[in-house]
Amino acid sequence: MSDLADLTLAAAAGGLRSGDLSAVELLEAVHRRAAMTEANLHAYLTLDREGAARAAVGADAGFKRGADLGPLQGIPVALKDNMVTRGLETTCSSKILAGYLPPYDGTATTRLRAGGAVILGKTNLDEFAMGSSTENSAYGTSRNPWDPDRVPGGSSGGSAAAVAAGSAMVAFGSDTGGSIRQPAALCGIVGMKPTYGLVSRYGLIAFASSLDQIGPLARSVEDAVAALEVVGGYDPADSTSYPGAVPDYRSGLESGVSGLRIGVVTELNGAGIEPAVQAAVNRTLDQLENAGATIVQLSLPSVEYALSAYYLIAPAECSANLARFDGVRYGLRRLGENVEEMMSNTRAEGFGPEVTRRILLGTYALSAGYYDAFYGQAQRVRTLIIRDFQAAYEQADVLVSPTSPTTAFPIGARTDDPLSMYMSDVCTIPSNLSGDPAISVPVGLDDAGLPIGFQVMAPALGEPVMFRVAAEVERLAAFGVRAPLASSEVG
């Protein structure tokens, strides 16, 4: 490719190790792309140019002395702005955290720095990761590089837009109900949610603690594997961190799908899916079958209730987690005549309408007299979903569906209809409730030229088989199309 900003992570890493290019050159190319695209896309909230420059110089010095810190050494990486970064503003796209400079790095950030990654800055998101379009950011909406009048998805919309536009080579987001996979699908890139606990949540500002998981957004399945290798693994600072050995993610990337059983989830296909999206999924299934896979039709009856369960569990956990933003310890403070009034004034001004809505929903679901009827019942449904997935994985090696029921929708089209917005995650939420890994791979464009995502789901710690199938989907789809705004023609 003529522009270094368009390289895959794997290609860039090869060039860095061979000496054909330097980390400084790579960073300069990505910064040039950001200068051309940011006015249109607003993918970033903060660009740490000085810090990135120091990291790039350090990565080059490491290469010269023969140090190999891993696959992200010298690679420009963006972080969603709910991942704390020492001395670099972290806001969660909320007014209540404006100006907050964390005194520490989260575990994922620490591992990226130790691995020689060049951290570019912090990307835009729906406030506190609550949304599916990045329109809930207190600092303005991010836009889709395929059509700036459309959303990039959410809540990791800024991360997805940056990777798709070439203003980051790889980015990290968080996935609570699809917030990595859905924007990846809408922006035509790869995005994956690891098994719950595989990546430490220490330093991820919590939305819903039993659902949140950090994961990569990248230009290829191989790039996503490399990114996960760096940040994954046990962390004693996170009590939910998986203490076992990290799987070998690369073992099956070149193995194809011959002999594998691929389950098509009836409840996540057909009804409610845009015809162009379903057609692309069906075409991919035909290709997989021709490549030697066995296609199995499966029903997960409890998935029908996943959306309802999620919108009780997630707001309930959000209500508990966001209680810490009280105007006393950090962030925004608006005084009142007493402590109660100060907290009320601070939260009224600091939280946006969607965050307020979810706090109220969650507080109600946890209140006396309603806990068992709402939150308790939702947790019982979650157990049924987990059991349905476990039963399905006895009949299939992976499960598949569309990632998003639609392609990118116009900015403003769903802001007045929260239920319509919530439906954007109907295909992704089940894997968060089950805690299993899932990935979105681009497989085509609709008639408007907007990308379509294909979701591959696997059992807990089933990343190797998930990546194996995803890599074959990627080869068969031969997507290879760049977003229109990922070019020097942006004005």
Mean pLDDT of 368-390: 95
Catalytic residue among 179, 241, 319, 434: 179
Angle CA(72)–CA(222)–CA(172) in degrees, nearest 5? 55
Name the fold adopted by 4-245: Amidase signature (AS) enzymes (3.90.1300)
DSSP state of 245: P
Q: What is the pLDDT of residues 36-89, one digit of tens each?
A: 999 999 999 999 999 999 999 999 999 999 999 999 999 999 999 999 999 999
Which is nearest to 219 in space by CA: 313, 100, 78? 78
193 within 8 A of 451, measured Cβ to Cβ: no
DSSP codes joined into one string, 44-80: EEEE-HHHHHHHHHHHHHHHHTT----TTTT-EEEEE
The answer to whether residue 155 is catalytic is: yes
- Percentage of the chain lying above the pLDDT 90 cut: 90
Catalytic residue among 80, 95, 122, 193: 80
In the sheet that 190-193 helps form, which strands lie side by side, from edge to edge? 44-47, 118-123, 76-80, 170-174, 214-218, 190-193, 438-445, 451-457, 398-402, 261-265, 294-298
Query: Alpha-carbon distance 62 to 200, whole Å?
Result: 27
Query: Alpha-carbon distance 443 to 451, whole Å?
Result: 8
H or E element that contains 118: strand 118-123
DSSP state of 409: P
pLDDT class of 5 with cuts at 50, 70, 90: very high
Per-residue pLDDT at 1 = 44
DSSP codes joined into one string, 87-111: TB---TT-GGGTT---SS--HHHHH
The answer to whether residue 487 is catalytic is: no
Q: What is the pLDDT of residues 180-217, one digit of tens each?
A: 999 999 999 999 999 999 999 999 999 999 999 999 99
Helical packing angle, 157-165 and 23-41, nearest 10°: 120
Fill in the amino acid letter for 268. L
| Beta strand pairing call for 214-218 and 190-193 | antiparallel
DSSP state of 408: P
Any idea of the CA torsion for 186, 191, 194, 199, to the nearest 10 degrees? Answer: -110
The answer to whether residue 137 is catalytic is: no
Per-residue pLDDT at 9 = 96
Q: What is the pLDDT of residues 110-145, one digit of tens each?
A: 999 999 999 999 999 999 999 999 999 999 999 999
Q: Per the omega criterion (within 30 degrees of 0), is the bond before 255 cis? A: no
490 vs 61, higher pLDDT: 61
C-alpha torsion sign, points 422, 441, 203, 122: negative
Which residues partner with 173 through β-bridges? Answer: 215
Query: Alpha-carbon distance 251 to 488, whole Å?
Result: 37
Catalytic residue among 94, 137, 155, 220: 155
108 vs 245, higher pLDDT: 108
Tell me the whole-structure pTM to 2 decimals: 0.96
Mean pLDDT of 164-189: 98
pLDDT class of 2 with cuts at 50, 70, 90: low
Which is nearest to 463 in space by CA: 417, 431, 429, 424? 431
Find tokens 């995650």 and name the residue.
425
Residue 275, burial from CB neighbour count under 10 angstroms (0-12, 13-18, 19+):
exposed
pLDDT class of 169 with cuts at 50, 70, 90: very high
Question: Structure tokens of 279?
Answer: 């057609």
Query: Alpha-carbon distance 402 to 277, whole Å?
Result: 7
Using alpha carbons, list the distances in angstroms from residue 305 to 65, 309, 389, 395, 418: 56, 6, 14, 22, 17
Domain layout of the chain by residue ranges: 4-245
Mean pLDDT for the chain overall:
95
Q: How many other C-beta atoms are found inside a 10 Å radius of the C-beta of residue 90? A: 24
Which is nearest to 73 in space by CA: 87, 86, 61? 61
H or E element that contains 398: strand 398-402
Q: For residue 315, which phi and psi values (nearest 5 degrees)?
A: -65, -35
Query: Alpha-carbon distance 190 to 160, whole Å?
Result: 9
Q: What is the pLDDT of residues 285-323, one digit of tens each?
A: 999 999 999 999 999 999 999 999 999 999 999 999 999
Per-residue pLDDT at 487 = 62
Q: What is the pLDDT of residues 417-428, one digit of tens each?
A: 888 899 999 999
Mean pLDDT of 3-11: 95
Question: Structure tokens of 463?
Answer: 């990343």
Find tokens 């959000």 and name the residue.
318
User: Helix, strand, or coil here: 420?
Assistant: helix
Q: What is the pLDDT of residues 221-232, one digit of tens each?
A: 999 999 999 999
213 within 8 A of 431, measured Cβ to Cβ: no
Measured in residues, the chain has a length of 491
